[in-house]
Amino acid sequence: MSTREAMPARPTASSERRSITVLFADIAGSTAIAERMDPEDWTALVGEAFKRMTSTIERYDGTIARLMGDGVLAFFGAPVAHEDDPERAVRCGLDMARAIDELGAAQRATGASDLRVRVGINTGPVVVGIVGSETANEYTAMGDAVNVAARMQATARAGSVLVAAATYRFISPLVDAVDVGLLELKGKTDAVQAYEITGLKAGAKAARGLVGLRAPMVGRDAQLTRLRDVFRVVRAGQARVACVIGEPGMGKTRLLSELRADIERTDGSVRWIEGRCLSYGETLPYHLVLDLVRSLIGVSGSSDESQVADALQSVLRDLLGDGWLETSAYLG
């Protein structure tokens, strides 16, 4: 019999260092819930929970790295990277928490187990690659960023999404959050700043440039003048479409921001609504239209159906008067 101990798995030669966003999700109190349920019923419930969690990860083009007994580990940024991976991870976490909450709603209504998920997210440098042997291996990430994400998940309240400051700095303009302060995490010498994400801001858009710094716009006077001319025609009651086209980083967003600021300074009666296409939007039916409607009525993507319905009815009454009801029926 060999006395040779198994060596710990190490990244292969194909491993690479990169910055990713790590998401850990875990069914809160799963052991206690399982004790109170028939094994077959529990297995079916966990199977449905995993189905909802994994489909949510796939919708945001994340990578499912590992399925555990009552949780899942996912990467956003490896092996496929996107410019908005932290945002994808946070949106995924919010949707995941909502999906599991809906799954557990029927149980709570009957006084049964309270099924909720805890989500922890962190962003940072890791080494990603295949570890293991030829017969047993997995694609994984190694680094402190993974450990912090796991600790975030363990610390999160049931049904909540807790993110470290390293993730929050990328998504702060997009979300509503509660500052939970510095957390002393197991295995960490220094405390980690954390935020509980409570939802998405209404009409929020990703930040551009450096937070707190806004330099004067230079060299776009001609384009801004043309947009102002188009607006004056629209203000007179004639429909127009203006397309601003250019390579990434050329200042399209800044140009429209200047136009909006100019209009808001000079004409307070204008209603400005915004929608943004997402890089993963092909998996979200009518996303741009829904984003425009949410901007119009002033609700966030995390608002519940009753809040959306009330806000929609209020805006339609203001715009259409007695004819609001028919339009409301078409909008659902």
Q: What per-residue confidence (pLDDT) applies to 94?
A: 95
The H or E element that residue 137 is part of is: strand 137-142
How much is the mean pLDDT over the chain?
84
Per-residue pLDDT for 139 more than 50?
Answer: yes
Q: What per-residue confidence (pLDDT) applies to 33?
A: 83
Q: What per-residue confidence (pLDDT) applies to 214?
A: 63
**Helix ranges (DSSP H) in 68-141:** 85-109
pTM of structure: 0.70
Q: What CA dihedral angle connects 161, 167, 173 and 176, to 10 degrees?
A: 20
* Average pLDDT rounded to a whole number, residues 256-277: 84
- Which pLDDT tens digit goes with each residue over 71-125? 999 999 999 888 889 999 999 999 999 999 988 887 766 666 678 999 999 999 9
Per-residue pLDDT for 256 more than 90?
Answer: no
201 vs 332: CA distance, rounded Å: 22
CA-wise closest residue to 195 among 86, 57, 73: 86
CB 155 within 8 A of CB 194: yes
* Average pLDDT rounded to a whole number, residues 295-304: 73
Q: What per-residue confidence (pLDDT) applies to 12?
A: 46
